[in-house]
A = this chain, B = another copy of it.
Amino acid sequence: VVSERGKLRVAVIGQGFMGRAHSFGWARAAALEGSRLSPVLAVLCGRDRQALAVHAARYGFAGWSDDWAEVVRRDDVDLVDICTPGASHAEIALAALAAGKHVLCEKPLANTIDEAGQLAAAAERAASNGVFATVGFNYRRVPAVAMARGLIERGRVGTIRHVRAVYLQDWLVDPSFPLTWRLDRGEAGSGALGDLLAHVVDLVRFLSGEEIDEVVSLLETFVSERPLAASGVGLSATAGEAQATGRVTVDDACAVLARLHGGALATLEATRVAPGRKNALVIELNGSKGSLRFDLERLNELELYEVGAPMDGFSRVLVTNPSDPYLDQWWPPGHILGWEHSFVHEFEDLMAAIAERRQPEPSFFDGFVTQAVLDAVSRSAASRSWTTVDRGSKLAG
């Protein structure tokens, strides 16, 4: 399913925050040296036709469409990149896989554990036909995170004993921020849980190489009534002038106590009401031989402590050397990368996997497992009890 001459023709579904980020990422990835495939921006797909024409031209797409069902079947598309809200992921992804297209689906994989299970099963079937699916946990591709994973893999921090991971934002602190689709359970499935804790969970799994076995949790909505949105969507919405308000149906925040399979104690947290924390995905792992710390607000840096090292302190490493993960394509040391570059690396890895006909990571099954953890978090909050993560029963397609 890769077209002749090493091109990978991409259809991006969605033209919001993520649609833009992916579009720029694919364009930038086209300039990478050494990649076996070269991405082509084939189609931009969305609902607002007027915006589509403008965006498609601006981002360099060959064409655009407002009919995703048609797009996923087109002959001139090799990969469908799904950047829509979670509620539509399953339908689009299943159709794309059925049409024999590779699929990249933004996280969370789905809004429900049932849908996620269906998707994982469908992806497994597709893979046996050489059609691959992956879920967009882009933070795995931040060089400092990749370096951290490498250090853990090589045993540099020993057995993991503690994980402390939070994703803190503050855009809902303002009570006049309006109701948008992200605050509507029907569209978004959940709040900080699916939007932010999903990243936390994936990062814990990726870095530790371990599963989260059981959780106990709290979910909270601190501001339960908000003005209806007058205009705009997503993160740039503004409140209407009238006093109409509506009910927030998702969580503002969640906090979780968890046990990893290897026995480590973990605290996980996600919130959109932490004043001053703009995008603070911070994770610290303490092992029997060392510690690691990463903060997305300073994503070019990694802190490492090793027991018995010459100096008894944390090293702050600026992960920008050409020998560091993904960095051979970029700039001399110290010329830092931005957030959006994580997508370039994600696409680079995805193209390599497709070219080599192997399963890209993270798979839909990884997306399903993250969803299973989120599901356990939800159930635990409701039942007020320790809850085992169910990685199996929902999986049958």
Contacts and interface: CB of A to CB of B under 8 A. Distances in A.
Interface of A: 17, 21, 23-24, 27-28, 30-33, 58-60, 157, 161-162, 164, 166, 168-171, 173-174, 216-218, 220, 222, 235-236, 253-257, 259, 263, 265-267, 269, 271, 273-280, 286-291, 296-300, 302, 304-307, 309-318, 320-322, 331-341, 384-386
Contacts of A322: 236
Contacts of A170: 333
A384 B321 CA distance: 38
A311 B317 contact: yes
B222 A161 contact: yes
Contact of A218 (B218, B265, B278): B265
A250 to B, nearest CB: 16
Q: Which 3 A/B pairs are nearest by Cβ-Cβ distance?
A: A279-B334, A278-B334, A276-B305
B291 A274 contact: yes
A266 B277 CA distance: 17
Contacts of A338: 335-338, 340-341
Contact of A164 (B166, B259, B286, B384): B166
- Give the residue among A21, A269, A280, A286 with the most B Cβ atoms within 10 A: A286
Contact of A299 (B33, B302, B336): B336
Contact of A333 (B171, B218, B300, B334): B171
Given A312-B317, A317-B311, A339-B335, A267 B255 contact: yes
Contacts of A280: 334
B333 A279 contact: yes
7 contacts: A161-B271, A162-B253, A220-B263, A275-B289, A276-B290, A297-B334, A309-B315
Contact of A340 (B166, B254, B297, B331): B331
A164 B269 contact: yes
